[in-house]
A and B are shown apart, each in its own frame.
Chain A
Amino acid sequence: MNGPHDLGGQHGFGPVAPEKDEPTFHAEWEKRALGLTLSCGAFGAWTIDESRHARENIPPATYLSASYYEIWLRALQTLLERHGFASTKELASGVMTGPGATPKRVLKADMVEGVLAKGGPCDRPAAGPAIYKPGDRVRTRNFNPETHTRLPRYVRGRVGTVEAVQGSFVFPDDNAHGKGENPQWVYTVVFDAAEIWGEGAQKGLTVSIDAWESYLEPA
């Protein structure tokens, strides 16, 4: 979707504001928001792709004025409600009114180390061989789905060069919507800045993305 999250190349956000000696967290609630997001992710009820799409669907004005942990929290509430773990009323009041969906697992303290160390690998065998090889010229497709995609707007319809075949991975555009993992080959595709930004592009700049095979066409 062409949502507020797709920020590459936008202007007007001002300077980057690095904070000297930044702490891991800036408030107690950030710690709990992180832990809640990871704990609820462990239910096994939704995928990382669905989580990302829930964040992208936050209304633009809210998304752009929220801190990232607030974005996570808003998306988490959406997911909890969508999957029947909590009702709108419960989320608004904080008070339990009845039972809800049962998760595949509840993350207990003694499971945390193992779960974090294992992570969630998302490489999967592809149905066929990779179409492209390093050195191939490719053009990214120009599409504007209202659904989830990981092809940013700033590199749609652009010609670049395949630099590496990175393996085959779960296809987020399908997986975010419960349409299956449908793994595809992923390529690192590199673009000259002038191809993306045209006049005034910074000299000596290249930008790469990691693109699923169906994002690409031969150029």
Chain B
Amino acid sequence: MHDHDNHDHHHHGNEFSDMQARVKALETLLTAKGLIDPKAIDAIVETYETKIGPRNGARVVAKAWADAEFAQWLKDDATAAIASLGYTGRQGEHMRAVFNTPETHNLVVCTLCSCYPWSVLGLPPVWYKAPAYRSRAVIDPRGVLAEFGLALPEGQAIRVWDSTAELRYLVIPERPEGTEGFSEEQLAELVSRDAMIGTAIALEAA
């Protein structure tokens, strides 16, 4: 892991306070014009801080592991299968689930902007939106995965999904060994955000 201050992320005091001032001025202006409701902004922030995040996606993955019928539904119509768990809406309108296998590991990127399945993973991390990941995921995915500490087995192919349209991809990692009899809640604990992007695999059962 690298210190995030070094890349793509400007924590220098001056720049930070400059952005703080610019955003504050814009919010003040738009509020004065009656164009926005600051309480709506509070509600949006609260939604993505507390309600919509990668725990949603982890529940989808856990259910797919535990329930073969649900897994099949997820393959056939991910949007509907995911909606059945209550996860719908912005940047999750058109979902596709892609399943890792021993033969193929899936990795998701948006080289053109920051497309990401918000309804199941929440807001994207800084690295996902930054040039290093967006430039290299499609040409050097093995190098990128190494930076996440992930070395795939030799012979496992990589499929990179560049989210160039309005489809949003959720990676379903392989179920770890030794998890027979686990409840969906226990299974969900093994699913990190990165495993659902493809920069990690599921955690080992403790």
Q: Within the assembled complex, what's the spacing in Å between the Cα atoms of A140 and B94? A: 23
A76's nearest neighbour on chain B, judged by CB, is B26
**Mask for A76-112, Cβ within 8 A of B = 1, else 0?**
1100100001100011011110011001001111011
- Contact between A116 and B9, CB atoms less than 8 A apart: no
Residue A208 is within 8 A (CB to CB) of chain B in the complex: yes
Q: Within the assembled complex, what's the spacing in Å between the Cα atoms of A69 and B156? A: 36
Q: Within the assembled complex, what's the spacing in Å between the Cα atoms of A216 and B158? A: 24
Q: Within the assembled complex, what's the spacing in Å between the Cα atoms of A93 and B24? A: 11
B118 to chain A, nearest CB (A): 9
Q: Within the assembled complex, what's the spacing in Å between the Cα atoms of A208 and B1? A: 28
Cross-interface CB contact of B138 among A9, A18, A188, cutoff 8 Å: A9
Q: Within the assembled complex, what's the spacing in Å between the Cα atoms of A34 and B129? A: 14
Residue B132 is within 8 A (CB to CB) of chain A in the complex: yes
Within 8 A of A (CB), among B1-47: 1-4, 6-11, 16, 19-20, 22-30, 32-37, 39-45, 47
- Contact between B23 and A7, CB atoms less than 8 A apart: no
Residue B49 is within 8 A (CB to CB) of chain A in the complex: yes
Within 8 A of B (CB), among A1-44: 5-11, 13-20, 22, 24-29, 31-36, 38-40, 43
Residue B80 is within 8 A (CB to CB) of chain A in the complex: no
- Contact between B20 and A18, CB atoms less than 8 A apart: no
Residue B174 is within 8 A (CB to CB) of chain A in the complex: no
Interface of A is mostly: mixed
| Size category of the binding interface on chain B | 35 or more
Chain A residues contacting B147 (CB-CB under 8 Å) are 15-16, 18
Q: Within the assembled complex, what's the spacing in Å between the Cα atoms of A155 and B49? A: 36
Cross-interface CB contact of A206 among B32, B157, B166, cutoff 8 Å: B157
Q: Within the assembled complex, what's the spacing in Å between the Cα atoms of A103 and B37? A: 13
B178 to chain A, nearest CB (A): 26
- Contact between B11 and A39, CB atoms less than 8 A apart: no
Q: Within the assembled complex, what's the spacing in Å between the Cα atoms of A204 and B142? A: 10
A112-B43 CB under 8 A given contacts A40-B36, A73-B23: yes
Cross-interface CB contact of B45 among A35, A108, A113, cutoff 8 Å: A35
Number of interface residues of A (CB under 8 A): 97
Q: Which of A20, A108, A116, A166 has the most CB of B within 10 A?
A: A116
B139 to chain A, nearest CB (A): 5
Chain B residues contacting A64 (CB-CB under 8 Å) are 131
Q: Which of B9, B36, B134 has the most CB of A within 10 A?
A: B36
Q: Within the assembled complex, what's the spacing in Å between the Cα atoms of A32 and B36? A: 11
Chain B residues contacting A111 (CB-CB under 8 Å) are 40
- Contact between A116 and B41, CB atoms less than 8 A apart: no
- Contact between A205 and B141, CB atoms less than 8 A apart: yes
- Contact between B112 and A5, CB atoms less than 8 A apart: yes
Q: Within the assembled complex, what's the spacing in Å between the Cα atoms of A191 and B163? A: 14
Q: Within the assembled complex, what's the spacing in Å between the Cα atoms of A14 and B138? A: 15
Could you show 10 A-B contacts with beta carbons less than 8 Å apart? Answer: A16-B144, A18-B127, A27-B19, A29-B19, A35-B41, A86-B29, A115-B90, A190-B159, A206-B157, A207-B138
Closest 3 CB pairs of A and B: A35-B41, A94-B25, A210-B165
A residues adjacent to B (C-beta < 8 A)? 5-11, 13-20, 22, 24-29, 31-36, 38-40, 43, 52, 55, 64-70, 73, 76-77, 80, 85-86, 90-91, 93-96, 99-100, 103, 106-109, 111-113, 115-123, 150-152, 154-155, 166-167, 169-170, 186, 188, 190, 193, 196-197, 202, 204-212
B residues adjacent to A (C-beta < 8 A)? 1-4, 6-11, 16, 19-20, 22-30, 32-37, 39-45, 47-49, 52-53, 88-94, 96, 111-114, 119, 122-123, 125-127, 129-136, 138-142, 144, 147-148, 155-167, 194, 199
